[in-house]
Structure 1
Amino acid sequence: MIINFKKFKIIYGKVNRIKKPFIELKDYSGIIQIYSNEKFSIGDILIVYGKIKKTKKKIIFIIPFFIKLVVKTLSFHKSNNFLIKKKFCVINFLNNYFKKFMFININSSNFCKNKSNSYSNIFKTYNFCKKKFFYLKISPEFYIKKILSNNYNRLFDITKCYRNEGCSNIHYFEFNMLEYYSSNFNFKDSLFFVEKILKNLFLITNYYFIEIFNLIFNYNLFFKKISLLEIIFIYFKKKKFFLINKKKFFLFCYYKGINNIKNYFLSDILFKIFDDKIKKKLIFPIFIKFFPTKSSPLTKNIITNLNYSKRFELFISGIEISNGFDELNDYYIQKKNLFKKNKDFLIKLKNCLYNTNGVGVGIDRIIMILFKIKHIKKIL
């Protein structure tokens, strides 16, 4: 819309082109240039009031006295546009890969009626139609387990999850996650299956050799698989010495800078040492197996040692990428852990739930390592 006041004009139009110090505005009547150094992006809708002038080539332009931004476009930068394409390729590959192995894709809802069994804080929303409070999902775990109890063998889901926790270059309150469950896989089978997924993904993106902290790694090699106790013994360089003498163990932990451990059990102390000191040093791909039972309450215990559970985590360049475990299908133990919050799941668990194995993979973190991105927020 253009309103004439002799030598002055009010223009309402869309930004068509930016060539500093001129901005081209377009509407139904035509195109006109504005002389301004203010920052706008292509697609923004502006209202301009200014004086009309002509150049030597008799091109009309406006010197504005007043500019107002009416509508802002949701345009992406070129770097973000490149990452969005790569992210789409990774998600598309994962969808096709799981369908080849006869996995069924499930689109779980983002809203839950009840709080899930987790120590993390949950986002809470209110629905005005139903006049009820709902919670945003932390993971699609319970939704998949309900369907597994109806005699389904292989299920997977690629969704966005939400966790009300602290933000950093690795963590963010919303993230993309792949989670799958299968009743046909053992603990060892799931380790090799995750390894195959990552190797095929890196081969498709033409990264036979990938650089991590200026060190070249070949993904044709096998990933290392070490238990939590073994890697702590390597860190301490003295086997069984600290497990026999607890006082010397506490003194050594204090010397290494790990405080406030007197009230912990021995298995929890080992997990705390791994979390504080060892995790950041795991640069090359490595599977850490058999975590303490208190850190993973919904997993099966090892028959030989009940203090440790059948759970693994994959680390690349000090970042946790995947987390897998054997599902605990004992109704009475799950009832204590869940505190009767998920009644629907407990009823179906009582009826039937086979020996299943579940794995969660962080898609955003894989893209971070592939394309050397320092912050997770750039991918989302």
Structure 2
Amino acid sequence: MPKIIPYIKKKNEINTRKNKLLQLRKLGFNFPNTFNYTNKIQEILNTYKNHTKYDLNQLDRIVKISGRIIKKRILGKATFLVITNNNYEIQIYIKSNLFTESYYFTYIIELDLGDIIGVKGTIFKTNTLELSIYCQKIYLLTKSLRSLPDKYQGLKNQEIKYRKRYLDLISNTNSIKIFKKRSIIISNIRSFMKKKDFLEVETPMMHPIPGGANAKPFTTYHNSLSETMYLRVAPELYLKRLIIGGFDKIFEINRNFRNEGLSTQHNPEFTMMEIYDAYSNYIDMMSLLEDLFIFLIKKNFNSHTIKYDNYQLNFKKPIKKMTMIEAILKFNKNIQPSDLNTVENAKKIAKKLYLDTKLSNSLGEIIYLIFEKKTEKKIINPTFITEYPIEISPLARTNTTNKKITERFEFFIAGYEIANGFSELNDPEEQKKRFKLQLAQKKYTNISKNFYYDEDYITALEHGLPPTSGLGIGIDRLIMILTNQKSIKDVILFPILKKKQ
């Protein structure tokens, strides 16, 4: 029986608030929208925080502000409210003798936490020197029918924070700071790209053929065209068409969709930035990425180091570079170079590491499996990993001197892959061969029996793609690192969640 008491209390409170709204409607209240504030709380705090009580009394400055009530206390014939707007708070002092008894007890005393109000009054400081508004007039703008999480305790339940982000933002000021920081960082990225003469473009979200990444797409249907379509897994093939068409430096920040798992690192809908630069190679793109990160760290932290979890991450130039095999050998002391020189040896060592190699038939695939499962998480300081096997890099250019690897890199921070870049494959015959190999591996047979590769992209390549480098950056993971969060759910306003049981 005690377990249902909180629910009964909540239900009774909702009914009480609904009754208050009913009474207000009878008096003519109808969620007015004619109140216009002339001042922001932030502006008032910044402008007058250092003024003395005497200065403010002499100034007699009248302001109009608005916000949500988050605290309320009644002391005799005075009511104190604290309202918040845009993550800034200010106290409202209401003296009962300034209002008629009927108005004071019908409207002001009956205000609830969560109500949104407008206030007209003068700025002053209390005896405790708290900057406040001496209320002359008050306007109820929105009646809140549900109680808010405790302002002092905040919203602690992680799942509710994700499912009801509005409550998280109302009660946890740190959450608002994180999402404001996200917006600032993305703005910083755009500023950097503009200074480097890159043009921002937009490409389709719905594709007739999924391509640009080895990922399972979401399927939809276009009624007018009577065609199955796919939410894009990557914008890569369209962006490279633009390079073929004559653009030389382009980027796009937008959503990708991959019909795969949920985790602290993965959300089916996520934000990526892809960059393409004509007449450049993967080494140029590594240099650009290095410059971007150094710019972001300096801009947001005024340093070349940041703290993430228990790590101190150093972004000082030059950022470390290692080949994939060098990384495997460094972080797995039980593996020797000879273990990675034949398929047979690599399978033996994979078995010792309890890795399933049924879907990994080539040496390159097994090496990548060992890297992905036993090495990635151990790469803490910012590091470029290079020399990716050709078998797992269908869109990357083959290395000139070693045909088993590609001119590709990935960028790791604190065990997370943050970016993936390479010199683009611009040989149409080789690209066609690799697309067919992907189909032969039956990556997409569960989607459509008639699945095929993007022939129009091959046609575009036959018109000539100049030597080009490309880069994809996971914006959500990047924000996660720069705001010191352990899950991308904490930096995505509305993450995808399992259906609530």
Q: How does 1:321-360 map to 2 (within 5 A)?
A: 321-338=418-435, 341-360=453-472
- Work out which of the residue numbers 273, 293, 298 in structure 2 matches 1:178: 273
8 Å CA contact 1:41–1:73 kept in 2: the answer is: no
- Work out which of the residue numbers 488, 494, 499 in structure 2 matches 1:376: 488
**Other-structure match for 1:229:** 325
- Equivalent-residue separation in structure 2 for 1:20 and 1:322 (angstroms): 48
- Equivalent-residue separation in structure 1 for 2:68 and 2:342 (angstroms): 75
**TM-score (norm. length: structure 2):** 0.61
- Match of 1:335, as an amino acid? K
**Other-structure match for 1:161:** 256
RMSD of aligned alpha carbons: 3.4
Q: 1:279 to 1:239 in 2, by over 3 A?
A: same
- Equivalent-residue separation in structure 1 for 2:108 and 2:461 (angstroms): 68
Q: How does 1:262-273 map to 2 (within 5 A)?
A: 264-273=361-370
- Work out which of the residue numbers 317, 336, 343 in structure 1 matches 2:414: 317
- Match of 1:169, as an amino acid? T
8 Å CA contact 2:217–2:258 kept in 1: the answer is: yes
Q: 1:41 to 1:228 in 2, by over 3 A?
A: same
The C-alpha deviation readout for 1:84-117, integer Å capped at 9, x for no partner, is 2111111111111111121111022322233225
**Other-structure match for 1:214:** 310
- Work out which of the residue numbers 358, 374, 377 in structure 2 matches 1:277: 374
Matched, 1:292 2:425: no
**Other-structure match for 1:47:** none
The C-alpha deviation readout for 1:219-268, integer Å capped at 9, x for no partner, is 22421111112222333466543246766654443333224369622222
- Equivalent-residue separation in structure 1 for 2:300 and 2:309 (angstroms): 19
Cα distance, 1:315 vs structure 2: 0.5
**Unmatched runs of 5 consecutive residues or more in structure 1:** 1-6, 44-66
**Other-structure match for 1:362:** 474
**TM-score (norm. length: structure 1):** 0.79
**Other-structure match for 2:196:** 101
8 Å CA contact 1:311–1:324 kept in 2: the answer is: yes
Matched, 1:142 2:237: yes
Classify the secondary structure of the residue corresponding to 1:272.
helix
Q: How does 1:50-69 map to 2 (within 5 A)?
A: none
- Equivalent-residue separation in structure 2 for 1:252 and 1:296 (angstroms): 23
Matched, 1:256 2:353: yes
Classify the secondary structure of the residue corresponding to 1:138.
coil
Q: 1:118 to 1:370 in 2, by over 3 A?
A: closer
8 Å CA contact 2:315–2:382 kept in 1: the answer is: no
Matched, 1:121 2:219: no
**Unmatched runs of 5 consecutive residues or more in structure 2:** 1-19, 32-66, 75-80, 82-102, 117-144, 148-163, 437-451, 493-501
Q: How many residues align?
A: 342
**Other-structure match for 2:54:** none
8 Å CA contact 1:261–1:269 kept in 2: the answer is: no
Classify the secondary structure of the residue corresponding to 2:301.
coil
Q: 1:150 to 1:248 in 2, by over 3 A?
A: closer
Cα distance, 1:171 vs structure 2: 0.7
Classify the secondary structure of the residue corresponding to 1:313.
strand
- Equivalent-residue separation in structure 1 for 2:236 and 2:373 (angstroms): 27
**Other-structure match for 1:191:** 286
- Equivalent-residue separation in structure 1 for 2:191 and 2:73 (angstroms): 49
- Equivalent-residue separation in structure 2 for 1:229 and 1:73 (angstroms): 43
Classify the secondary structure of the residue corresponding to 1:194.
helix
Give the number of the structure whose residues are more often helix, by fraction.
2
